[in-house]
């Protein structure tokens, strides 16, 4: 397997700035000379693990009642984040968002990662939640989303039944606490640098370049300059 520098992203599918952060990262990587040597790894993080499995509140009601925020302030905040999303080409319909527990979505993400489709599923989940108003706790809905990105319908059911995927979620969250993640999105660059929040592409690019330069030094290949050649045998058995 080709050696690549890892960018780990802690995210929750219900975090509006995480989708914006994904777009900003993609914009940064488009400008980065070493983008083909970058591997993106999505990590699970739950902003509210106590969220019910069945929707009980709208986005506004949730923030007003659970977070004790004034309604006017909430409406202005959601308007601002919708505008920020539009600036990076995203359409947010937060009035349609179904506020439910994201655990099942994270289980499917962990499964998709084992198939090399973590980035594809993360994109599909974001779009489903923020734009389409889909229920990302509903197993039938998640199954359909998984099928859309190429996951096997029967095989992906193990994401919801096997203990492995819930354990991986807990591992990701514990790792986030260990390294001091206070909110998402959080970008871990080569396990050495951390970038918190949906930073502009220019800021992400600057940090990626610094991390990548160090990564390249540590992974530089040593090649000998040929000074004298003589009779030798090659791997295919030819001796001359």
pLDDT above 90: percentage of residues in the chain:
85
What per-residue confidence (pLDDT) applies to 118?
98
Within 10 Å of residue 87's Cβ, how many Cβ atoms? 9
Burial bucket for residue 82 (CB in 10 Å: 0-12, 13-18, 19+) = middle
Helix, strand or coil for residue 171? helix
Per-residue confidence (pLDDT) for residue 232, from 0 to 100: 61
Q: Considering Cα of 62, then 121, then 173, then 28, what sign does the dihedral take?
A: negative
3-state class (DSSP) for residue 181? coil
- Structure confidence at residue 66 (pLDDT): 83
Residue 39's DSSP bridge partners are 6
53, β-bridge pairs = none
pLDDT at 220: 82
Whether pLDDT at 239 is above 80:
no
For residues 58 and 239, which has the higher predicted lDDT (pLDDT)? 58
pLDDT reading at 38 higher than 90:
yes
One DSSP character per residue, 37-90 reads: GEEEEEEE--S-TT--SS--S-HHHHHHHTS---HHHHHHHHHHHHHHHHHTT-
The answer to whether the beta carbons of residues 12 and 18 sit under 8 Å apart is yes
Average pLDDT over residues 123-145: 98
Residue among 186, 208, 240, 159 at smallest CA distance from 35:
208
The pair of three-digit structure tokens given for residue 57, joined into one six-digit string: 């509140």
Residue whose C-alpha is closest to residue 104's, from 62, 154, 149, 145: 145
| E runs forming strands in 96-160 | none
Least confident range from 69-83, 188-202, 213-227: namely 213-227
What is the value of pTM for the model shown?
A: 0.90
Q: What's residue 68's pLDDT?
A: 87
Cα gap 117→42, rounded to integer Å: 10
pLDDT over 60 (residue 191): yes
| pLDDT at residue 225, rounded to an integer | 58
pLDDT tens-place string over residues 53-110: 998 888 889 889 888 889 999 999 999 999 999 999 999 999 999 999 999 999 999 9
pLDDT band of residue 52 (cuts 50, 70, 90) is very high
Tell me the average pLDDT across 193-210: 98
């Amino acid at each position: 397997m080709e050696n690549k520098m890892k960018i780990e992203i802690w995210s929750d599918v219900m975090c509006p700035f995480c989708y914006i952060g994904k777009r900003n990262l993609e914009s940064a990587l488009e400008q980065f000379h070493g983008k083909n040597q970058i591997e993106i790894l999505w990590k699970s993080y739950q902003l509210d693990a106590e969220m019910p499995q069945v929707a009980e509140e709208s986005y506004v009601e949730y923030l007003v009642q659970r977070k004790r925020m004034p309604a006017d302030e909430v409406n202005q905040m959601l308007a601002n984040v919708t505008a920020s999303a539009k600036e990076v080409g995203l359409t947010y319909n937060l009035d349609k968002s179904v506020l439910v527990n994201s655990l099942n979505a994270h289980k499917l993400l962990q499964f998709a990662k084992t198939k090399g489709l973590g980035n594809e599923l993360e994109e599909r989940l974001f779009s489903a939640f923020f734009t389409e108003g889909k229920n990302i706790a509903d197993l039938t809905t998640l199954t359909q989303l998984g099928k859309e990105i190429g996951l096997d319908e029967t095989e992906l059911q193990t994401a919801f039944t096997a203990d492995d995927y819930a354990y991986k979620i807990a591992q990701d969250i514990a790792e986030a606490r260990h390294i001091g993640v206070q909110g998402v999105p959080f970008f871990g660059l080569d396990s050495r640098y951390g970038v918190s929040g949906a930073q502009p592409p220019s800021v992400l690019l600057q940090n990626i370049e610094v991390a990548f330069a160090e990564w390249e030094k540590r992974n530089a290949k040593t090649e000998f300059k040929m000074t004298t050649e003589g009779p030798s045998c090659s791997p295919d058995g030819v001796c001359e």
